[in-house]
Structure formats: structure tokens, C-alpha cells
Amino acid sequence: MQSTASNIIIKKVFHRGFPRIGIYFGFDDGLKQKARSLGAIWSQTLKCWYVDYNKEKFEELKRVFPLVTIEGEKKEQETTPAPGLGNSHDIAPIALRQSKSDLLATGASEHNSPKADEQVVLNAVYLSEKGKYWIVKVPYNEKISKALKSIRGVYWNNTHKAYMVYRNLAVKTRVEAVLSMPGLLPDSYWTGDSPDVDNGVISIEVHEADKRFMQVKLPDVSAVIQIVKRFTGSRYSKAQQCYLLPSSPQVLSNIEKLAKDYGIKIETNLPDKYLNKRYTPSIRQVELARAMDSVRNLTPPGSRVVVDAFTDHLLATNKSSSTIKSYSQALISFLRYTGYRDLLGIERAEIVKYLGKMILNGFSPSTANNCVNALNIYYREILLVPHFEIELPRPKKESKLPVVITQEECVEIFMHLQNPKHKMVIMLAYGTGLRRSELVSLKWEDVLFDEYKIHVRSGKGKKDRMVMLPYSIVAALQSYRDLYKSSVYVFEGQYKGEPYSAGSVAAVMKRAVIAAGLEKKATVHTLRHAFATHLLETGTDLRFIQALLGHSSIKTTTIYTHLTKKGVDKIQSPLDKLMGGKNEKLL
């Protein structure tokens, strides 16, 4: 049965925390093509097509679908939606008004709480119910976040970026009181067990195979499991049916805090002096362990000897975790292509044919080059083939100019960041030109306030370097430190001693770019490009920029000479000269 125009329903929905116009209709290829012509995207979660929530998209939608039903129109609306688009009856509108501030140079502490004479209107959004929980979206506010997490029966779901609220009258009353929104949650209470029942026990035991770890058995609480998975150095043991965590006092302290947050009992059966501070893993150790686990999971049984020898060599030569993963995956793909034959019996022509097939199948030249590098290392350094003379062809890399944003666009991004940590990490990315991995691994001991410098340790290529600490951000950074009180990392995760996730930084940037209304596809790395380009435009020597960015070759840095507007803006097109004077009427 095909859909008709009258079957098309549009309403306000929320996708990944942002308002969208949801378009609902049955299976119809014609309507799907029309939706795609609008730039609509299919959401598997919401089971609908969606576009941005703005007036332009709504008018365009009405032109493509003249007859639609707008679900949930109201005469009285709590906020003003996009013109012509009513609020959905089952999704309350978001309104977030906070006091405006200058950029973080005024001090991050002012974001901690509103002033006494300012009123913060923080409207939460009830999304739906799932099992024994209501799902509620709440705009970020530090005090309200802490108050919600202190309520028994409420927990933060990081996957959906929403609060899960136990469907209970007492819990409902407390949540609505914290949010100052009576009637937000429905009366569909859960008739099963109360959240005050025993949620199980976290059991901590000795790991006999390796005293550097302890065995942690968790109750079947999804939120707790997801958090423990993200602990630095965490891995699951199928044999022991438990998580193995580093046996350090800091990790145990984080587990105790987690148990307290979720009202779970904890039983610790560790002997005295079992925990040791030196077992606390570094980020590099964790990344290497994860890379090795990833490679082992990909390795077929028949090629395990070959791949193990390859990864052992990469580890011994101090290759990075990303290099180990990419080179190992390239070698495994080639082994699969050859049917796991002995590499000594493979001719040069077969290797060239494989590389050509990769390009034909749409793989990037960089991926093909990884294969070339991996094979070179294996033949020359592991097999030690005498007089190895096969010169593998190097696919030519595509020369693409990176996206660069203007200083005005940078300001727009900064102004749409309210959380102090989010604003500081994004501003520091632009102000220092650090890579995302360097930002999250930055420690307070490496921030030299007196010298206005930052010591970057073991950056890309295992190289240390010094970069500038912007004068304008020093006071704000010190205020931020007093506010968050992190001990080791400048940007700490949810639990003490845990570094902030690189994925979280990327998500923060993505939301800020969308909120600022930028059409450019800007990422955290785009801020690094902007840092270099803007320095070049102000006359900074290219060699200094190379040192600040940590580039091994000046050729890498010269890409920014193609991005700067300093010289291009002074060049006049020959068409402009031709059209001047007596020829200006040619158009």
C-alpha cells in the first residue's frame, strides 16, 4: 500500500540532542526520493526522515509536500518554534536562557552557577518511556546535574545523552522539584520492584594470573557496566567472567565512588598492599593494549604466527598504537587476498594487482600506502629476504586543502559553548594548535604558567615540543583549575585520574559548530589548521609554525601558504581589469 500526501505527518523531534523536523510516511519510493531532495536523512532510531528545525527547511518542506499533517499544534505555546511549525504534543520544547558572558577570558568560574539576581530557565524534555524508566533530556547545568544524579532511581545514560528516571511516584516528585517543572513526567508508574531494592554487589577479587590487575564482578546494571568499560586499562575476561582493572588505589577509589553513586554494595577481598600506585596505566599503555586486542580479534587462526611476529616487531620498534592497527589490518587483508599462502612464494605482479584492485574498489591512496609500508616491513625486516629488490609502486596521494575557519567563525563557536570544560578545551585547541590526542593527554605538570608555555610530551612521532600558552587564557585556565580540581590531567573524565575522552571533545566541537550555524564541516583538527593559517596571515615565519605544530618536514607546513588570504586578496583577476572602465557594460 503506497502512501498519499494525507498520510505524511511532520512533527518536532530530537535527534542526538538537537531539534529536527521529523517526516513520517509509509513505504513509498516516490516520497523517499522527495525527502532526499530536501536533504533529509533517515533515522533508524526515530524511524523517520528528518531535516533541520528552521523556517527555511519548513517552507521548502511545504513546497515539496503540499499536503501534510502537522502533529501536535497548540494555540498556546511555551516557546516560539520555527514559524509555521507547532510543538509536538508529546515533546516539550527546549528553552535554555543563561546569562551571557564574554569569552573565557573573564573567568570560567562565573559559569558554575547563576548569579543571585539572574534566573535560569532550564526546561527539560520528556522523550519517552523505556521499560521501567522515563527518558528525560536536560540542558546542561552543573548544580542540576549533581542534584539529579543524587536521586536514587535516576542515572545518566551516556549513549543517549539523557537521564533515565525510574517510573515511581517518589522519584517523579523529586525530579520535578529539582527541575522546577511539575507535571513534566506522566503517571505511567512501574509496578515492579522499587529502585530501593538491592541492586546487587560489586565484588573485587585478586587476579592470580597477573597481580597488576584485580577482578571486578559487576551486577547487571547497564549504566554501571558502560562506565567501567571506559575506565583506563579496563578489559573483559571471558574466562573469569569479570572485568580486569589495574590494581591501583586510584582505580579502587573510582569503583567505590561509582558504587556510591548508584547505591550498590561493594565487597573488597584484596589482601593488604595488593594495590600499588605504580600499576596505574598510562594512556600510551592502554592505547597499545587496545590496539593489540583489536589486531588479535581480526587475525584468522591460520595466519596467527605471521601476524604475531609482525606486531611483536612493531612493538619492539616503538611504533604507535594507530600504526600497529593500520599496518596489521593492511597485512591481514593482503593475507586474506592471497588465501594465506606463504609470502615468500608471492610474485611482485600479484602484489601490484592487489594494490590496483584496492584503488579500483574505492580505497584511498593512503590505505594502499599502508599496505605498501606493511609489506616492506615484513619482507625486509622480518623475513630478512637477502637482496630484496621488489620496488612496490606508491599510489599518488590526493592533494586536498584542509578546511579553515575565519577568526569570526571561531568566536561564534566559542560563544555557543556554555560548559566551562567544553569551552576551555576548544579554545585551547585553537590557541595552541594542539592535536586532539595531545589535548586529552595534557597534564597540569606540563602547563608552565610562569613561562607561558606548554610542554607537549610524546606527540606524534614520539617527539616532545614546546608550544605557546596564550596570555589571554591564563587567568581563565587557573580559574578552571580551581573549579574542577583535577589532580593529573587538565581535562579529566567523569572519574578522578581518568583522562577526558577524545571522542567527547569531537562531539563537543560538532555540537558547537551546528549551534553556531556554520556550513563548513569543521572539526577539532580544523582549529589546528586555523591556528597555523592565522599565524601565517599575521606574518609569523613558516619555520616557527612548523616547530609549533610539530611537523617533521617543512613541506607539510607549506600547505598553509595555499590557505592564507594575505597574498591572494591583493591579486586582481585579469577579468576585473578587462571589465573596468569602458568595458563595464559587457554584462
> Which residues are the active-site residues?
435, 460, 525, 528, 551, 560
Pairing of strands 41-43, 48-52: antiparallel
Residue 61's beta-bridge partner residues?
Answer: none
Q: Rg for the chain (alpha carbons), in Å?
A: 28
Residue 155, SS3 per DSSP: strand
Phi/psi-derived region of residue 574, left when phi > 0, alpha when psi is between -120 and 50, beta in every other case: alpha
Residue 506, SS3 per DSSP: helix
| DSSP secondary structure string for all residues of 237-283 | ETTTTEEEEE--HHHHHHHHHHHHHTT-EEEE---TT---GGGPPPH
Q: Please name which of 196, 191, 133 lies closest in space to residue 167, comparing C-alpha atoms.
A: 133
C-alpha cell at 552: 617533521
Q: Please name which of 396, 393, 309, 380 lies closest in space to residue 351, comparing C-alpha atoms.
A: 393
Long-range CB pairs of 309-312 (<8 Å, 24+ gap) are: 309/382, 310/374, 310/377, 310/378, 310/382
Residue 485 corresponds to which amino acid?
K
Q: Please name which of 285, 375, 308 lies closest in space to residue 338, comparing C-alpha atoms.
A: 375
Question: In angstroms, rounded to a whole number, what is the distance separating the alpha carbons of residues 520 and 404?
Answer: 9
Q: Please name which of 67, 29, 70, 66 lies closest in space to residue 53, comparing C-alpha atoms.
A: 70
